[in-house]
């Protein structure tokens, strides 16, 4: 028989057994806690999780995976993914995982019931023990439906944006913080005449002459300060062609507020600038031509006075000496000649007055229109009394202009009404009202009027609508038109035969200092 253990040895062995038991209990508890934690993570994971064996048969899955698949749990457990899945990419990923190589798959996953199709992103991995023994395999699934939709929406947005950018009427470029062009649209390529690869990667200064480089450098400093004001700049396109643009830049800053460049739209105004220059040149030529015509009219009318006076004098002398001494035809011829000479002299006097109007250069001053009208009525006193005309008026304003020319205009308009009065007693009324930044005057009469189709013709020099039964050369309204236009206003007339005429004209409400 063997030796009996001592009491101390027995006590020590009991202690060892108790410790082993305690370790087993704690190990079991730890294992249980670990399994509980795993199960909690398994069931509450935002990812779909499923386990499968070495044959690809699903052994377990969490609720999220079941929802993604759109099938009951009993239809999922036992499903053989290797034999039943039609998607070759997914089958290859599963087989690769079973062979020991973790794999990634992204694509559409059809429900095990053959119904719902879900876009997913999946990772398959083989699980082994510490000794390398195969335990199983796991698949982690993420439903990427919303991400796919967001990507599709982003692609559509980018497509729309690119379509908009490429078809817009303005050029567009993006430059980095060093002034190098990183993007350009098709329109800018057309405007400059280069291909995209000839522009992208080049400094903006490569497309500018020295004067416009200075402009760009000055404006670039403003971009770094956040300024976005538009400015005019001229680019040098292919073959040296100059392209004038309005550049509208916007600075680009990163999250830390550091300047990263800018993007800008470029509106081609080359044709507009050319048209403006051509128009300015035409206006200058027209002004010079008008000045030459005014000088010619003044010189011609002035120099014609003396020979015409001589002709008129001798014709009047013939009339005094020989009227009644020759036959009736001779008397009639002499009368025609005298009348024609007088009319020619009146026309020359009117032309001289018209040309003198354009040669004056006095400054505009504050003018009381009531005083200018008083002056005109004083000059017309005899004609008013003879015709029995009644002149009424509203209170007139003070404007900036020429007192003499405004008085002459009132005299011509009222005199015209007296000249073309009808059978009824003549009534002329002068009124005015303020309309925004100008005064609207009207001179209305109840005279014979005229057909409205001739409303523009009446303001043309020497144009007459009525026969020689009415005195004058047809220059009065032409002078009025010139006076109004020199004051920056407009003039027009409304009339109807037998129902009188209203002449309207405007005078701006402006400041002193302009020239007549």
Q: Judging by DSSP bridges, how do beta strands 231-236 and 181-184 pair with one another?
A: unpaired
Q: CA-to-CA distance for 413 and 435, rounded, in angstroms?
A: 22
Average pLDDT over residues 39-61: 81
Q: Between 361 and 8, where is the model more confident?
A: 8
The string of pLDDT tens digits covering residues 367-422 is 999 999 998 898 888 889 888 999 999 999 999 988 888 888 898 899 888 888 88
Q: Nearest 5°: phi and psi at 273?
A: -65, -40
The string of pLDDT tens digits covering residues 287-320 is 776 666 666 666 655 666 667 777 778 777 877 7
Q: Judging by DSSP bridges, how do beta strands 390-393 and 427-435 pair with one another?
A: parallel
pLDDT at residue 515 is higher than 80: no
Q: C-alpha distances in angstroms, 82 versus 66, 113, 160, 231, 242? A: 18, 16, 42, 67, 69
Q: Dihedral sign, CA of 7, 9, 15, 17?
A: negative
Mean pLDDT across the chain, nearest whole number? 79
Average pLDDT over residues 207-218: 92
Q: Which has the minimum average pLDDT: 155-159, 332-336, 424-428?
A: 155-159
Q: Which of 3-12, 80-89, 147-156, 433-442 has the highest mean pLDDT?
A: 433-442
Q: CA-to-CA distance for 19 and 227, rounded, in angstroms?
A: 79
Q: Is 282 exposed, middle or buried (0-12, 13-18, 19+ CB in 10 A)?
A: exposed
Q: CA-to-CA distance for 15 and 7, rounded, in angstroms?
A: 12
Q: Where residue 443 falls among pLDDT bands split at 50, 70, 90?
A: very high
Q: What is the structure's pLDDT at 188?
A: 87
> What six digits make up the tokens of 397?
């304003």
The answer to whether the beta carbons of residues 135 and 128 sit under 8 Å apart is yes
Query: Cα 197 from chain centroid?
Result: 30
> What six digits make up the tokens of 35?
């399994």
Q: What is the structure's pLDDT at 479?
A: 83
Side-chain half-sphere of 506: how many Cα atoms within 13 Å?
13
- E-assigned strands of 92-133? 103-110, 117-128
Q: CA-to-CA distance for 433 and 449, rounded, in angstroms?
A: 24
Length in residues, the chain: 516
Q: Dihedral sign, CA of 323, 326, 329, 334?
A: negative
Q: Which has the minimum average pLDDT: 134-143, 243-252, 275-284, 351-360?
A: 351-360
Classify 109 as helix, strand or coil. strand
Average pLDDT over residues 260-281: 85
C-alpha closest to that of 94 among 141, 129, 47, 130: 141
Average pLDDT over residues 468-480: 66
The radius of gyration of the chain from alpha carbons, rounded to an integer in Å, stands at 51
Q: C-alpha distances in angstroms, 105 versus 139, 316, 484? A: 10, 120, 85
Q: CA-to-CA distance for 199 and 179, rounded, in angstroms?
A: 12
Q: Where are the alpha helices (DSSP H) in 323-368?
A: 328-359
The full set of domains in the chain, from first to last, is 46-142 (3.30.450.20), 168-268 (3.30.450.20), 274-342 (no CATH), 362-508 (3.30.565.10)
C-alpha closest to that of 218 among 242, 249, 191: 249
Q: What is the structure's pLDDT at 482?
A: 85
Q: Between 20 and 218, where is the model more confident?
A: 218
């Amino acid at each position: 028989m063997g030796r009996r253990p001592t009491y101390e040895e027995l006590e020590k062995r009991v202690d060892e057994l108790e410790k082993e038991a305690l370790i087993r209990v704690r190990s079991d508890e730890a294992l249980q806690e670990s399994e509980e934690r795993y199960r909690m993570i398994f069931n509450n994971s935002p990812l779909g999780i499923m386990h499968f064996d070495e044959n690809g048969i699903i052994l377990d899955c969490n609720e999220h995976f079941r929802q993604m698949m759109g099938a009951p749990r009993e239809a999922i457990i036992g499903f053989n993914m290797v034999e039943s899945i039609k998607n070759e990419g997914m089958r290859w990923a599963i087989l690769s995982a079973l062979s020991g190589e973790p794999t990634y798959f992204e694509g559409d996953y059809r429900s095990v019931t053959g119904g719902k199709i879900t876009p997913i992103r999946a990772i398959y991995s083989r699980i082994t023990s510490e000794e390398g023994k195969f335990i199983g395999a796991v698949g982690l699934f993420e439903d990427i439906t919303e991400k796919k939709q967001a990507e599709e929406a982003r692609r559509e947005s980018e497509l729309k944006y690119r379509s908009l950018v490429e078809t817009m009427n303005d050029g567009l470029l993006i430059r980095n913080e060093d002034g190098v062009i990183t993007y350009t649209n098709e329109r800018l390529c057309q405007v400059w005449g280069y291909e995209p690869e000839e522009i992208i990667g080049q400094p903006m200064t490569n497309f500018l002459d020295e004067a416009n480089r200075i402009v760009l450098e000055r404006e670039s400093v403003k971009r770094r300060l956040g300024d976005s004001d538009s400015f005019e700049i001229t680019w040098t396109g292919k073959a040296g062609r100059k392209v004038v643009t309005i550049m509208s830049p916007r600075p680009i800053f990163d999250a830390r507020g550091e300047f990263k460049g800018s993007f800008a739209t470029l509106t081609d105004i080359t044709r507009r600038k050319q048209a403006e220059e051509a128009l300015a040149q035409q206006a200058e030529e027209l002004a010079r031509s008008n000045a030459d015509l005014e000088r010619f009219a003044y010189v011609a009318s002035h120099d014609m006075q003396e020979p015409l006076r001589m002709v008129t004098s001798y014709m009047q002398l013939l009339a005094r000496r020989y009227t009644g001494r020759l036959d009736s035809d001779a008397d009639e011829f002499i009368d025609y000649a005298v009348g024609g000479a007088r009319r020619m002299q009146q026309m020359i006097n009117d032309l001289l007055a018209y040309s003198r109007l354009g040669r004056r250069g006095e400054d505009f001053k504050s003018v009381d229109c009531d005083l200018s009208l008083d002056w005109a009525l004083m000059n017309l006193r005899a004609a008013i009394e003879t015709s029995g005309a009644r002149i009424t008026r509203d209170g007139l304003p003070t404007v900036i202009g020429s007192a003499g020319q405004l008085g002459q205009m009132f005299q011509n308009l009222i005199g015209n009404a007296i000249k073309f009065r009808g059978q009824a007693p003549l009534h002329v009324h002068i009124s005015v009202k303020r309309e925004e930044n100008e005064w609207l005057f009207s001179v209305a009469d109840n005279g014979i009027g005229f057909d409205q189709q001739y409303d523009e013709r009446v303001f043309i020099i020497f144009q007459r609508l009525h026969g020689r039964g009415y005195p004058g050369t047809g220059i009065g309204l032409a002078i009025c038109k010139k006076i109004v236009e020199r004051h920056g206003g407009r003039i027009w007339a409304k009339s109807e035969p037998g129902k009188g005429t209203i002449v309207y004209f405007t005078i701006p409400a402006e400041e002193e200092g302009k020239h007549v």
